[in-house]
Amino acid sequence: MITVIGSINMDIAIRTDVFPKQGETVLGNLFTTIPGGKGANQAVAAARLGSQVQMVGAVGQDAFGNELYFNLKNENIHVGGIEKTNNSTGIANILLHDNDNRIIVVPGANFDLDQQMIERHMDLIKQSSLVILQLEIPVETIDFVLDVCVKLSIPVLLNPAPAANYKPEWIEKVTYLTPNETECEQIFGTDYETVLKQYPNKLIVTLGGEGAAYFDGTKLVNVPGYKTKALDTTGAGDTFNGAFAHAITAGKTIEAAVQFANIAASLSVEKFGAQGGMPQIEKVNERLEGLK
């Protein structure tokens, strides 16, 4: 059982051809709401690949909260660990203009995910073969969950995004740390190849279309990505993390799990939306077979 502890958001995307100046009103040409939040995205990615997944998180008692709750339930994710609080559901307001985006995140109920909520769902954590964390919930909660998992000898995959919320002492408590190249440099202050050698088989750095890299204790291992035409890269990192979790809990080696995750991420960018492109296991296996 994979347990994801993290954020559940509604992404609100607006596209415009004219970026508004201060005080100006302009017309847009797209409005859409898309289920998101790094925690929910990673849960969906793992569940679509066939893992048993349970989610611990929080939404508001509003329309977005209900929609996100049932979206996760419909993805065959166990939702008994999702609570509805008096805060509003978390949102990400995404303004799209000229192939660029500006995002404002309002955490809302995600910041109600505190130690007391974790304690209420301790039975779920105790069932876990792996716990997945990200950094869109309070850092105090991350501290508490990591200490619990260390005490219970439960492996942890920490995706340190947003990297500004990362605490250096966490590296000793996690089993896998999966920053992208930019996050790695932000966290460690140097290039990823230098840092990888300090954390063999623990630090896995994703490199976008170039794949991912880690140090196996003897050599640097670069696992190439799958070259494809990207329609929307949103959620590719979350797909990688969910797919890696699925593969590693299924008994694959780190190298095989990274390759599997790279393929899943390559499929995810071929469709629109973070969760919209997340693949089923059959599609990943089909593309893997094509590499042989």
* Catalytic residue check, 238: yes
Phi-psi label, residue 273: left if phi above 0, alpha if psi -120 to 50, beta otherwise: left
Tokens in use for 87?
């805060």
Closest by Cα among 55, 51, 75, 54 to 249: 51
User: Which is catalytic among the residues 98, 112, 143, 238?
Assistant: 238
Q: Per the structure block, which two tokens stand in for 132?
A: 């997945």
| CA–CA separation, 180 and 184 (whole Å) | 6
Judge whether 34 and 11 are in contact, CB under 8 Å. Answer: yes
Q: Give the largest CA-CA distance in the chain.
A: 58
Q: What DSSP state is assigned to residue 149?
A: H
Q: Checking DSSP bridges between strand 176-177 and strand 220-223, what pairing results, if any?
A: unpaired
Q: Is 244 helix (H, G, I), strand (E, B) or coil?
A: helix
For residue 91, list its beta bridge partners.
10, 106
How far is the C-alpha of 185 from the C-alpha of 180, rounded, in Å?
9
Beta-strand pair 90-97/9-15: parallel
Residues marked as catalytic:
238
